[in-house]
Structure formats: structure tokens, C-alpha cells
Structure 1
Amino acid sequence: MVAMPHPTSHVKPITRDDVARMAGVSSAVVSYVVNGGPRAVSPANEAKVRQAIKALGYRPNAAARALALGSSEMLAMIIPDALNPFFASLARAVENAAAERGYTLLLADSQGSPRTERRLIKNFAARRVDGLFLWSELSDPDLMDLEQADIPVVLLNHSTDLATAGSPAVMKHGAGNRGANSVGVAFQDGARMAVEHLISHSHERIGLVMGTNAGGELDAREVGWHQGIQDAGLSAGPIVRVPFTREGGYRAGQELLARSERPTAVFVSSDQQAVGLLCALQEGGLRVPEDLAVFSFDGSPESEYSWPRLSTVAQPVKDMAEAALEALLAPPGQETQTNIFPAELVLRTSCGCH
């Protein structure tokens, strides 16, 4: 009778040396095949190693590899709404930039909740990721867990009016500053330019559909809207405050439709809100841009395929992603920087351009 192993007995794990013996190569060659380098392996030896890996069911020990390298080769990213096409585009751009440097990106959705955001930060800090990209709903998020774990972080929604057309603005805060590096777009400047463009179409009463944030803080896009109107000597149109969602935009459209005195144009704080707004206006029988011109913010793929096509203030997603990765992987001890990119107007039908 063949003795059966006890249910609690442990099977010896397959090691890299076992693969090397079966393939007839050194363990270093197995490592090069598994890790894609750093040295090249002949096609014949690579085929033997992969055949042995398959036959033995070998799985590399990620924890041991991370310990040996002093790196998990994993970065994390927290965004407030994974269903938002803009954030999806940003996450893909960051993931592509990270992959080119050999890193895997872990993505998490805070769903716009500061409490969820704090929990995710704590979890990623405990998992010892090599760095974190954070689009926070708060202007001053709690980064204590990351600081204690010595994990670098880059804030992705920092806003300032420092950027000027043509090149990003960079502020250096000094090596002793414990603040996080940040990358963003000139929200205030972009909103102001959108309002100025609407004014160039002879609009004198321009409303605002403004998204709400968890901290209740004044958004730079609202400041830019005010600035554009004041610089032209006009009176501000109505402000409708709704969530940064399609549903929020739809509700804003219904509210505008119900007003006896509507503005002739409206600046909307996100493309996603603007799509919901367009739906409500269409249902209410208003023509865009003839009855109400619309200009939004973000430059998401969704803006190009709405009807009518949305004029929007575009954020340079690819450039922001690459700058964020450079800031995250910068050697420790360097000066903390705020890298702000200029916004760009993308003119389409919704504002009256053709």
C-alpha cells in the first residue's frame, strides 16, 4: 500500500535552482528569463527555461524578489472616480509611463470620500509600494502614513495660476520641506480663457455649473470664471452647484431650464457634467449653441463624441503623467516641486465655433 501524505504536510516549493537543473542552465540564466534581463539569453536556453517552468509549475517569489531589490516595483494611484473618462485616461497614461520604467501600477477608487481615501493611503503604505499618485478631494490630504513609511507621493490635482501659455510653471520649495511633489494644470487660467472665448462670441451673461468637493473649498475654476467676467466689466451669471457627475450636470441643466432669465452661455467645471447638461437641454428643447453656448473643462475623450461636440479646456494628460512619474522616482533629498502645466482650449461646436 502506498502511504498517502498527511493533509497537514507541506510540499517543498519549486525553486529557481530546480528550474535550472531541469533546463540544464545556471540559476542566473533562469533569473534573466524570468525578469527579462539584465543580460540577454539565447533563444535556445530561453525555450528550455520556459519549458522547465511550465513542467514544474514554478512561480517566482515576488516577496523575495522585492526584498533582494529593495523595491516592490509597484506604484499605486488613488483617483476619486474610476468611471470618469478623464480619470480613466489619466490612469492609463500613468500606467503606460510606469510600465516603460519597469513598474506595475495598482489603481484604487476613493469614490470622492475622504474617509475611503485615508483608508486606501493606509493600505498602500502598509503594502510598501514604491510610490503613490494621489488625486485627492482635499487641498491638504493626510499623508502621515506615507511619510512614516518613507514612501514618496505626488499630488495630481494641485492648482495655481502660475502657469503661462507655452510652458509649465515649476516652483521649488526647498529640500527641507516635507510637502509632497505635485503636478497639475492651471485651472484658474484655463477657466478664464474659456470665459474670454465665450465673451468673444458676444455673450454678456455667462453662468457657471460648478462641481462640489468634499472639503467645501473654493475651486480655482470658479475663481477663473469670476476673473474673466470681471476683466470684461460684465455681471456674473447664475451659479449652479452640483456633483462632478453626469447626473449632476443633468440636474444643473434642469435648473437652468426652469429659470425665467437664463444666461446665454455657461462654463461647466467638467466634461462629464457637460454631457449630462447637454442631455437635459436637448430634452428641454434648447439648442446648443444657439440658445445656450457651453464650454467645459478636462478635454476627456467623451467631449469629442458628445452632440454637439463639446468645446473644452484640455488638460495635457500624457505630459502630466510623465512629469508625475519623474517627480515620484526622483532621488530622495531633492527639492520639492510643484509642476503646473498650461491649459489649452479645444474649440468645437458647443461654444459656437465650427
Structure 2
Amino acid sequence: MNDQHPRVVTRADVARLAGVSTAVVSYVVNDGPRPVAADTAARVREAIEMLGYRPNASARALKLGTTGVLGLVVPDSSNPFYAELALEVERSATRRGLALLVASSNSDLELESRLIQDLASRQVDGLLVSAISGPPRITAGASRIPVPLTYLDAQLPVEGVSTVSSDGEAGARMLVQHLLRVHGHSTVALLMGTASTGWVDGRELGWQRTLREHGAPDAPLERAPFSRKGGYEGGLRLLRGRGRPAAVFASSDLQAIGLLRAAHELGIAVPGELAVVAYDGTEESEYCWPPLTCARQRIADIAEAAVNAVLDGRAPTHRVFDVDLLIRRSCGCTGEEPGELRTRRARPRDRIGPPPT
């Protein structure tokens, strides 16, 4: 039995088999800096394939001053929204020849901070963070990160750092207005996620302001984690309480799905006795029953903008994307074939400076 590790194939091995210098092998592998004749390049690639040569990524990174890797930190990688976001960031990175490292903070502030520092110490080419902490904490830590940094889901601008976000307030307004105007509800309860932020979430602001503008009476507000379990437990509290609401806006798809289970267990028909709408618009929102009317975040556009921001080296910007209103069955709309929906679209936009108050 041979306990020896197999010998690593080197650039010199490829050069000998192809009958060229090691420099020529390097030019072919790195696509430059000097041109190589087509037949010579083909011979080098054939030798690489025959020998199974793999360039030393660490050595190449040291020479070029880049690692070819981006880092992404999210609060919960099991959440479908963050899973879809990570997939779109990976696709955007891949189109640029970059790899992606994804880390989950499990909604823990201290772990989030350690992950950011750890990825930065690995000299990634850029770092994208969907932070659970508020603007004061973000601002304080941003200047100490030695790599380009972009924050996702930051509702406010952060000095010296690019940020990319969806317009949560506008999404909440569309959903609440739909329930009030189209379905005639007198008011709308809110099932709001809990997070360690330093601001009032835009979804909550949109809910508050829309009810106030329509002269609607005060409605219940229940806080629960951004999860199925959180939505289920928060839903039970909402639906068992006095003055049970006839319409609920859930601040995430996962919460809404938990809320649907709570309603089912209590024998409350959705949408017959309870209208439900949600924010996020992940794939799960389409395949639960009934399918959720929701404000859909433009995840692919957000990911592309974030990768561009972290790589372009320009002055920091605060980019806010509008959301799309997807009309499905959970709100009480009918007459659509399964899988069909009506969409109200708005154009994405850039905002520089703080959002309007």
C-alpha cells in the first residue's frame, strides 16, 4: 500500500510535455500578458488536460494582488430570501470570473462582526453584508474593514460605504392600500419581524403611515422572528386575541407561511375569513396555499448592483430598488388561473443621501 501523496503536477511538467517554456504555459493559463500562437496554445491546453494540471490559486492571487473571491454575510442562510440572494450574488460573481464565500451570522451581532473580520482577513476582493445591526454600528465598523465593502438591506445611507436596498416602505404601502381600497378592509394588522436594528423598519413605517393617511383605526401589531415558527407563534397570538383582525400584513414570506398554519389550526379560512399579504416574494410565496399576494423584492437586480458597487471602486452610493406587487389568492382576489398573477411594476432608482421622511 502506497502511503505517499500523489505528486502535484507543476507548470514545468506541462511545459516539458508541450515542448514550451514555463512562461508560455503561464501566458496560456492567465490569457496574457503576451500573445501565444493558436497551435502552441492548443498544445499547452492539451498537456494541461492530459496531466490534470491545476494552477496554484494562492500563488496567482499573491502575484496579481487579488484572490478572485467575494465574501457574503447574511443573517440566516436557511431563509429562502437569503438563499435566493446568495444564488443571485454567486451568478453575478461567476459572470466576472469570481468565486463566492457565504457565511451566516444566525442573527447574532457578535458572530456577524467576527465573520466580517474573518472574511476581510482572508483578503477577499470585496465583501457584501446583509447586516442585522443598525446604522450606528455599521458606520463605526465600516472604516476598519480593509477590503471594499457594500451593505445590503441598509435602509439608510452609510458614510463611506455603498448600500443597496429595496424600498420596504413603498412595498408596505402597496400591500396595505390594496387591502384597504380593493378589498374594503377597515384596517390591517401587522406581523412584524424582530431584529437588532437602530431604525424603525421601512415596512413598519409604510404600514403606519398608510393606515394614518386613510384614517383607519389603530390595528394590532405583533412582533415575532423572521421565520416560519415566528409567524406561526405570532399568528396564534394575533388570531386568538380580542378583536381578531380580518387582514394581516406579514413582514416576510416565512412569517406569512407560519401565519397560514396558525389560521388553519384555528379553523379560520384564508382568504374567506382572513386576508394575508406578505413582503419578499420568494419562490415559496408562490407554492404555499393559498399563494401569497406579496411585494416582491428584485433580488437579481439587487445582487447585480451590489456586486457592481463592491467592485467598481467609485464614490459610495445609496441605491434603492422599488418592489413589484404580485396579486395572488391570499388577499381574496379571484378569477385567475393557478400560477397566474397580476403585477404592478415600478422602475428602480438611485437615491443619494437619506431617504425622505
Normalised-by-shorter TM-score class: 0.7 to 0.9
CA distance in 2 between counterparts of 1:306 and 1:99 reads: 31
State which of 45, 56, 67 in structure 1 corresponds to 2:62.
67
Higher alpha-carbon deviation: 318-327 or 302-311: 318-327
User: Which one of 174, 177, 186 corresponds to residue 193 of structure 1?
Assistant: 174
What amino acid is the match of 1:341?
F
Name the aligned partner's letter for residue 225 of structure 1.
W
For 2:344, the equivalent position in structure 1 comes to none
Structure 1 Cα separation of the partners of residues 273 and 249 of structure 2:
14
Percent of aligned pairs sharing the same letter: 43
1:347 aligns with 2:343: no
Cα distance per residue 1:112-141 (max 9 Å; x no partner): 111110010110111011110100001224
- Structure with more relative contact order (C-alpha pairs < 8 Å, separation 6 or more): 1
Match of 1:215 in 2: 197
In structure 2, distance between residues paired with 1:33 and 1:236: 68
Contact 2:190–2:222 under 8 Å retained in 1: yes
Q: 1:83: how far off?
A: 0.6
Query: Contact conserved, 2:250 with 2:276, CA < 8 A, in 1?
Result: yes
Secondary structure at the aligned position of 2:226 is classed as coil
Q: CA deviation at 1:65?
A: 0.2
Are 1:31 and 2:26 matched, yes or no?
A: yes
The structure-2 alpha-carbon separation of the partners of 1:98 and 1:51, relative to structure 1 and needing over 3 Å to count, comes to closer
* Distance across 1 between alignment mates of 2:62 and 2:256: 48
Shift of 1:99: 0.7
- Name which of 271, 274, 279 aligns with 1:289: 271
What is the root-mean-square deviation of aligned Cα atoms in Å? Answer: 2.6
Match of 1:118 among 107, 113, 127: 113
Rounded to whole Å, the distance in 2 between the matches of 1:126 and 1:142 is 18
TM-score, structure 1 length as denominator? Answer: 0.85
Cα separation, partners in 2 of 1:265 and 1:12, compared to 1, 3 Å: closer
Paired AA for residue 171 in structure 2: G
1:78 aligned onto 2:59: no
Paired with 2:170 and 2:201, the residues of 1 have a C-alpha distance of 12
Residue 133 of structure 2 corresponds to which residue in structure 1?
A: 138
> Does structure 1 retain, via aligned residues, the 8 Å contact 2:155–2:202?
yes
Deviations 1:23-47 (A, max 9, x none): 3234345335545778685584255
Instruction: Report if aligned partners of 1:125, 1:146 keep a CA contact under 8 Å in 2.
Output: no
Please list every run of 5 or more consecutive structure 1 residues that lacks an aligned counterpart in the other structure.
1-6, 161-170, 172-176
1:327 corresponds to which of 303, 309, 330: 309
TM-score by length of 2: 0.85
Which residue of the partner structure matches residue 338 of structure 1? 318
Q: Which moved more, 1:203-212 or 1:22-31?
A: 22-31
Tell me, yes or no, if structure 1 residue 262 matches structure 2 residue 260.
Answer: no
Structure 2 match to 1:206: 188
The CA deviation at 1:218 is 1.9
Q: Give, in whole Å, the separation in 2 of the partners of 1:329 and 1:71.
A: 12
Structure 2 match to 1:157:
153
Return closer, same or farther for 1:241/1:52 CA change in 2, 3 Å cut-off.
same
